Amino acid sequence: RFNRRISHKMQLLTLIIGIFSLHCAFGAQCNKPEKEIMAQCMQIIHPEHAELLGNIANLPQQYLQQITTLLKDVRSEITNEQSTTTTKKQCVNNLLTRVDDISKSYMTRVITVDSNVKQRFIDTYTALGSALVKASQCEENHDVSCEVIQSCCTNVKNELYAQKSISSGSVTNFLVEFTTQFSKECDSILSSIRNLQADLNSCKTGVTERKKSRIEAVMLDKTLKSQASTSVMTSNLLVSCSILFAVIRAMY
């Protein structure tokens, strides 16, 4: 019986040591914020442009939110002005038409630039999209340690670059091109909307800021031409007087 007790105790001790060793090997549950875990995963997958990789899925949503919010605000401002003004309704109506035009066209512009870039980098885009899905699955496993999650991200990286058509360079080219072209198009749309705000501020005078600038430029040009003409006339008059004076001296 004594030997049996010793044997049971040894088995229990072995089990405890095994569990402890397993815990040490894989660590405790990862308690880092999800955002930090994903940032570290992006750093593992593509350290050269980890931030661009992490933002690639959110970039369209962020820009579209800016565009829709600004459009809504500008439309509200113009509508309010339309209800209060009595003499400049046509100016305000023109602005509303421009708001409608932007509202109808901006999504087509965004989709076009999005699809054009992705089509040119279709292999990289497809492989990268699959890798990002798997990376999010690594992050969603909350019951494991941070080390296990990092190991999962490393496996995603190895699987990504194991594909013949994918390299660090091709991933970089896609990320930079997509971010550049998409941002450029969306910034252009936002600029058009802000122009409406500037023109609305000038609507009460009946002259938009850009028309005002052109008018000022024309007036300046006319002033300079007038000054030049006056200078030429003065010069010609002086020459004529000199000639006349010389003729009179010759006569006498």
* Per-residue pLDDT tens digits for 166-177: 999 999 999 999
The pLDDT of residue 220 is: 58
Question: Is residue 52 within 8 Å of 176, Cβ to Cβ?
Answer: yes
Q: What range defines the domain where residue 239 resides?
A: 212-252
Q: Are residues 183 and 96 part of one domain? A: yes
Distance of alpha carbon 62 from alpha carbon 59, whole angstroms: 5
Q: Are residues 189 and 249 part of one domain? A: no
Question: Is residue 63 within 8 Å of 54, Cβ to Cβ?
Answer: no
The pLDDT of residue 14 is: 53
Q: Residue 225 — pLDDT band, cuts 50, 70, 90?
A: low
Task: Using a cut of 0.85, tell me whether the model's pTM lies above it.
Answer: no
Q: Residue 241 — pLDDT band, cuts 50, 70, 90?
A: very low
Indicate the range of 14-23, 87-96, 133-142, 159-168 predicted with least confidence: 14-23
Distance of alpha carbon 196 from alpha carbon 216, whole angstroms: 20
Q: Are residues 134 and 119 part of one domain? A: yes
Number of domains in the chain: 3
Indicate the range of 44-58, 79-93, 145-159, 204-218 predicted with least confidence: 204-218
pLDDT at 21 over 50: no
Q: Are residues 98 and 150 part of one domain? A: yes
Q: Are residues 61 and 23 part of one domain? A: no
Q: Are residues 105 and 88 part of one domain? A: yes
Q: Are residues 71 and 190 part of one domain? A: yes
Q: Are residues 194 and 224 part of one domain? A: no
Q: Are residues 196 and 222 part of one domain? A: no
The pLDDT of residue 85 is: 66
